[in-house]
Chains A and B, each alone.
Chain A
Amino acid sequence: AQSVTQLGSHVSVSEGALVLLRCNYSSSVPPYLFWYVQYPNQGLQLLLKYTSAATLVKGINGFEAEFKKSETSFHLTKPSAHMSDAAEYFCAVSNNNDMRFGAGTRLTVKP
């Protein structure tokens, strides 16, 4: 069985501050890991994915995530938050044909 746990349903940062969204996974085989972003009233959009190549993955909009097998983690970071980053972020794991999503973390960016 595979699953992901996102720590913190809400994260609030100031504009320009570091963004850190946490994700831990559980998988019986080497996983494929994803981060998706959902803006209000829209579908999910892929930010980045880990496919067992480089452990540090760079995505769109300045986001990146690091796969740490020893910690079973795949945390999402961005050095400097923009107001436009306010959204809900989902971590997901896949090692079969389906994908399991975390509960999501809502990011608020304060001016």
Chain B
Amino acid sequence: DAGVIQSPRHEVTEMGQEVTLRCKPISGHDYLFWYRQTMMRGLELLIYFNNNVPIDDSGMPEDRFSAKMPNASFSTLKIQPSEPRDSAVYFCASSRRVGGIHEQFFGPGTRLTVL
């Protein structure tokens, strides 16, 4: 399996622009997670999906952030409009429940810089 795939790996944009991050989970995994990592706040869970349905979006910082999962093999995280404080590394992870537990597999991340 190719693992979790994220694109782009790096994104540089200007304040006010729309940014879309993409994720392809591991085939057969029915949970998908979006995280944000910064030096100041560490690793934060933004939102997670189960069977393409958003379950908990309490970590989404503002209405400028939105996430979708139109099918089992694709998810997007959109920021509109972007701000410099959104600069971070965004990780996507996927998992499936085995024996009652999840082992999350992480993608390589997207490093976002908002100027």
Contact = CB atoms under 8 A, between A and B. Distances in A.
Q: Do A and B actually bind?
A: yes
Interface size range on B against A: 20 to 34
B104 A99 contact: yes
Nearest to B56: A98
B109 A97 contact: no
Nearest to B108: A43
Interface string A83-101: 0000000100010011111
Given A32-B101, A43-B107, A98 B48 contact: yes
Contacts, number: 53
B113 interface: no
Contacts of A34: 103
A107 to B, nearest CB: 16
Nearest to A42: B108
A97 B102 CA distance: 7
B59 to A, nearest CB: 9
A46 B104 CA distance: 8
A90 B101 CA distance: 18
A90 B43 contact: yes
A104 B40 CA distance: 12
A43 B100 CA distance: 24
B106 A49 contact: no
B50 to A, nearest CB: 7
Interface of B: 4, 31, 33, 42-43, 45, 48, 50, 55-56, 91, 93, 97, 99-109
